Amino acid sequence: LFFFFLTQCLCGCCWALRPRYKRLVDNIFPEDPEDGLVKANMEKLTFFALSAPEKLDRIAAYLSERLTRELNRHRYGYVCIALEALEQLLLACHCQSINLLVESFLSTLRLLLEADRPQLHILATNSFVKFANIEEDTPSYHRSYDFFVSRFSEMCHSDHEDTDVQNKIRVSGIRGLQGVVRKTVDDELQVNIWEPRHMEQIVPALLVNLQEHTHTSSESPAEQTEVCFRELLGRAAYGHINNAIRPVLMHLDTHGLWEGRSFAVQCFQIIMYSIQSQHSHLVIQQLLGHLDANSRSPASVRAGIVEVLSGAAVIEATGSVGPTVLEVFNTLLRQLRQSVDYELTGYYDNAGKLKTSSTEEKTLQDAVIKTIGSFANRLPVYQRSEVMLFIMGKIPVPGIYPALGSPNGGSNLLTALPSSFLEPLLSFTLMEDPDIRLLVLSILTSLIDRHRNSLCRFSIRRNVHLMCVSVQHAQRLYRHVYLACREESSGRSHYQALFTLLAVLSVELANEEVVVDLIRLVLALQELALSNQECLSVFNRCGVHAVCAAFFNLLSQLNLPPPLHLHVTQVIERRQKDAPHLLPEDALSDKPRLPGQLKVEEVLLFVPSKICEALTGSSYSAHAERLNTAYTPQLTGTHTLSRSTHCVSAD
């Protein structure tokens, strides 16, 4: 017994009697820590570890013990050396025994991350990232990364008083989260990083840095955040999308970021471009559900969510609309209907405590219409008529909901713009309620406009290029444009919408026959504005003249014969000089300067004979003669739903 205790004492006191692995570990530490790891001795330790892998756990435990001892003594140079040795062993030992190293390695990193020195946090994170990039040959069944998710997320929220140090800590935390994702996302035996408890830590940590910082350099928190966020979303499988998106919605709610819109739009642009395209419709569904959940929120919040939806729709993601077409339009139209109700009552809650304004609700309604157009533009042409039938059955007209039938009942994907869709739609453009007329004009334009040409501004200065598409039933459209111009309650927005519709028709449906028909229509509108038999105010007449001027200016630039451009230019220049109230910039301004009585000299008008002459000898010659016959819409008593009475019907 005495001999045994003596041996133990000698082993503890005499370095030569220590186990070989301990001697090899001790030899890698130099006398001066600034000299760094003793490379030759590190090679001996690595060779020993590879030759005797069963000793790896002891080697790792002893290295961890040395690191802890040096850390407690504040000898940080030796701490770095011990950590570097652990890293090199991890990189070298691609064998079944690597798990023996990993537990000690991760315990060491936890120790460093719990220290109170930012430099150690950064050191530990860099080491973890190196480890995360190692492809392990064998699975691990009991490894946990919960601490690292929590700690790295906390580092992303660092508020260190030194800005440079704060940024370094945040960037380090972001890179750490990226490492956790890389290490766990493809290994079913690892912790499920997609669980809500993890996503609710990771996603807000990333969004805070994306929101608070700008892309000043490749090492900025925002730059690193976007890289990490995109990688996280890109690795998300079908069943993980909802858990990844829900914390985004919660973060935007909590911090009131829907109202700013730009950041929310930026977030979902990153999301839509990063996820696999076949999963895009899940994001749309999440946004739709969130919009419904915020039905009792301020109009600015609802408008922000709708704008994000609109931005998501225009991103090239085929699967984002297909499976949820009717759900998209049903939700948007439900919001539109609610907004109309809120506007009428002045409150956006049932208790009548939360006030809203007409301006706020109209902003939301405009956003909804824009979004309907955005989604419609993603649909095939043949499918738009189906959607329009659905829309017209849901449109919020107080007291009037025409029985159009279900768009799915017995329907077989109608051709573009069929009669069953066109007639009820166009009837709504003649409702007495000006807001309804404007809404339907906007929706109609959005569905016809496949190339986003409706973005053109209502003015006489615009250069465009010709695009050729065919359409059916154009005469019905022309007739209702004419009838809409006879409505006495039309305002500036209506004339803007009518011009936009004419502009879209001229660009989307352009061929020689269509162009001539549109010219005949606009010349008829000019005569309408001149007629004393129509019950139109001076403002209405000037508005119609302004629409005609803007349309002819647009048309003259669509590669039509130069003589037509010359005639249009001369008329417009004369109006600018003598009658600016006949041009859109003046007639439809916030404070138009209109004459008491409207008298229009011939030199201020677009002359049919000159236009006909200008088109003769060009590709339009075959149709130019039709300009000598005035356009006359065929009207019956059922062609208007308006309760206003016209003085004389145009037969």
Give the pLDDT confidence score for residue 345 in this predicted structure: 87
How many Å apart are CA 532 and CA 645, to the nearest integer? 15
What is the average pLDDT across 127-151? 82
CB distance 614 to 564 below 8 Å: yes
* Residue 487 burial (C-beta neighbours within 10 Å; 0-12, 13-18, 19+): buried
Count CB atoms within 10 A of the CB of residue 535: 13
The rounded distance, in Å, linking the Cα atoms of 271 and 283 is: 8
The predicted pLDDT at position 113 comes to: 93
For position 417, what pLDDT does the model report? Answer: 46
Span 257-262, average pLDDT: 82
125 neighbors 150 (Cβ within 8 angstroms): no
CA distance 151 to 172: 11
Q: Worst-scoring range by mean pLDDT, 25-29, 92-96, 614-618?
A: 92-96
Give the chain's mean pLDDT. 79
| pTM metric for this prediction | 0.63
What tens digit of pLDDT does each residue of 71-83 get? 999 899 999 999 9
pLDDT at 205: 94
Query: In residues, how long is the chain?
Result: 651
Choice among 285-289, 401-405, 426-430, 551-555 with the minimum mean pLDDT: 401-405
pLDDT band of 28, cuts 50, 70, 90:
confident
> Which of the listed ranges 211-215, 338-342, 599-603 does the model predict with the highest average pLDDT?
599-603
Nearest to 480 by CA among 403, 426, 537: 426
Name the pLDDT band for 639 (thresholds 50, 70, 90). very low
The pLDDT tens digits for 443-460 are 777 666 655 555 444 555
pLDDT, position 406: 33
**Residue 192 phi, psi (nearest 5):** -80, 100
Residue 433 vs residues 44, 283, 445, 535, 631: alpha-carbon distances, Å: 89, 36, 19, 17, 27
Say if residue 535's pLDDT is above 50.
yes
Confidence bin at 189 (pLDDT 50/70/90)? low
Kindly tell me the sign of the dihedral angle through the C-alpha atoms of 175, 181, 182, 184.
positive
Higher pLDDT, 215 or 484: 484
Q: Is the pLDDT of residue 201 over 70?
A: yes
CA distances (Å), 390 to each of 26, 129, 327, 408, 417, in order? 78, 53, 11, 9, 13
Is 399's pLDDT higher than 80?
no
Whole-number pLDDT of residue 206: 94
Q: pLDDT > 70: what percent of the chain?
A: 75
Mean pLDDT throughout 399-428?
43
Res. 538 pLDDT band, cuts 50 70 90: very high
Task: Give the span between the Cα atoms of 299 and 294, in whole angstroms.
Answer: 10
| Percent of the chain clearing pLDDT 90 (strictly above) | 29
Whole-number pLDDT of residue 648: 31
Q: Is 577 exposed, middle or buried (0-12, 13-18, 19+ CB in 10 A)?
A: exposed
- Name the band, by pLDDT with cuts 50, 70 and 90, for residue 379: low
Residue 104: band (very low, low, confident or very high) from pLDDT cuts 50, 70, 90: confident
Q: What is the average per-residue pLDDT within 543-562?
A: 89
Instruction: State pLDDT tens for residues 566-604.
Output: 999 999 999 999 999 999 999 888 888 888 888 999 999
